[in-house]
Each structure stands twice: as structure tokens, then as C-alpha cells.
């Protein structure tokens, strides 16, 4: 079983690439964001610590964390974002490592793909056999984000400024998939790497 980390800037099409892979290959896909959401639910590992640090003002009526409120707090205060990440990211990584170990024992899949926003920064290269960078031209990314998420230019600028540069992604990853064009071209690249 091969473990492959998937990364890339916002709007590059990681989700589309991973959907194609899970539909066409014997692969499990683990999304770090989904793991984080699970770990932030009431009675989960990160929940108590987050509420202790950020207060019960971040809770909804059902006592679940209101992720929109929490996002508002941390994205206007870099220090609080670092604090939140220091609580959540180690737990997410531990959960993913345990999931990979389980899959390795069960041998049901040929591949496990891990998608994480901070794949490089959190050193997922230690647990992945290789890292793939999903690249898309910035103009293409901007158009996708405006169409699919209704992002403004200011919002896109803000998100991109907080992500690694193209050079940093390319240096850290063993493979690059160009997802700037028709998806048929992207599929050919994926098939070549996995075939």
C-alpha cells in the first residue's frame, strides 16, 4: 500500500483530482479537514481544549462548536490561529497516522491519499511515501474560486498570501500535476503516475 500526500493552493482542484482517483482506483482518501471537524465535535479530543481556550461564546445552542464564529476569531488574529492550530493539528496528524496504520494492516487499498492544507508545513512527508503538488495557473484558480465559492479578489488575495509559493510546493513535492486545462489532460497525468 502506497501513501501519497496531496497538496496545492486554494482553487487548484485537489478535490476534483481526489474524486477521480477514488472513483477509478482502489484508493482511500483521507481529508485532514474532515478529521479536524470530527475531532472538534462535542466529546471529541480537541473539543474540550478549544472551549477552554476560546470560551463558551464559540458554542451553538446544541453545545457544538460554531465553526463560523471560531473562524472569525482566528482569521482576524494570527496568534489565536496559531493557538488553534497547535491544539488541532497534532491530533489530526495522530488520527491520520493511526488510520494509515489500520489500513496498512488490513491491506484493502492499493493507495491511501492524504489531503491536508498544511501537508508540507506539518511534515506529512514523514508518513507519506511521496507528495504530489496539484498545480493550476493563478488566473484559472481565481476564476474557479469566483465561480464555485463566490470569493472576491480581496478574499482570494488574502488566502493566497497565507499559502506557500509555487516554488515551495514544487521543491517539497516529488510529483506535480498540472490541473490548469481540461480535466482530460489532468486524468492522463494521474493515470500515468498510478498506472
Residue with cell 489532468: 186
Cα distance between residue 130 and residue 123, in whole Å: 12
Given a contact cutoff of 8 angstroms between Cβ atoms, the answer to whether 58 and 47 are in contact is: no
Cα distance between residue 124 and residue 160, in whole Å: 21
pLDDT in tens, 114-153: 999 889 999 999 999 999 999 999 999 999 999 999 999 9
Angle between helices 32-39 and 78-106 (to 10 degrees): 110
pLDDT in tens, 16-60: 999 999 999 999 999 999 999 999 999 898 999 999 999 999 999
Assign 3-class secondary structure to 65-92.
Answer: ECHHHHHHHHHCCHHHHHHHHHHHHHHH
Say whether pLDDT at 12 is over 90.
yes
Specify the length of the chain in residues: 195
Closest CA to 63 of 75, 74, 47, 49: 47
| DSSP, res 135 | E
Helix (H, G, I), strand (E, B) or coil at 132: strand
- Its sign, for the CA torsion 93, 97, 99, 103, is positive
Whole-prediction pTM: 0.90
What pLDDT is stored for residue 118 in this prediction? Answer: 86
Q: At CA 118, angle to CA 175 and CA 138, rounded to 5?
A: 60
Q: How far is CA 147 from the centre of its chain?
A: 20
Cα distance between residue 108 and residue 168, in whole Å: 34
Greatest mean pLDDT among 62-76, 86-100, 145-159 lies in: 86-100
Amino acid at each position: 500500500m502506497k501513501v501519497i500526500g496531496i497538496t496545492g493552493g486554494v482553487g487548484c482542484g485537489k478535490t476534483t483530482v481526489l474524486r477521480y482517483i477514488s472513483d477509478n482506483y482502489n484508493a482511500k482518501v483521507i481529508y485532514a479537514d474532515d478529521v479536524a471537524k470530527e475531532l472538534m465535535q462535542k466529546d471529541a479530543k480537541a473539543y474540550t481544549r478549544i472551549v477552554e481556550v476560546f470560551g463558551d461564546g464559540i458554542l451553538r445552542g446544541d453545545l457544538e462548536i460554531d465553526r463560523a464564529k471560531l473562524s472569525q476569531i482566528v482569521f482576524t488574529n494570527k496568534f489565536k490561529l496559531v493557538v488553534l492550530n497547535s491544539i488541532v493539528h497534532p491530533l489530526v496528524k495522530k488520527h491520520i497516522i493511526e488510520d494509515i496504520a489500520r489500513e496498512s494492516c488490513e491491506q484493502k487499498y492499493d493507495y491511501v491519499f492524504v489531503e491536508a492544507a498544511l501537508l508540507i508545513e506539518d511534515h506529512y512527508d514523514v508518513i507519506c511515501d511521496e507528495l504530489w503538488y496539484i498545480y493550476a495557473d493563478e488566473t484559472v484558480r481565481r476564476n474557479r474560486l469566483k465561480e464555485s465559492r463566490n470569493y472576491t479578489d480581496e478574499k482570494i488575495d488574502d488566502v493566497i498570501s497565507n499559502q506557500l509559493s509555487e516554488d515551495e510546493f514544487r521543491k517539497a513535492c516529488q510529483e506535480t500535476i498540472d490541473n490548469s486545462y481540461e480535466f482530460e489532460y489532468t486524468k492522463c497525468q494521474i493515470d500515468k503516475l498510478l498506472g
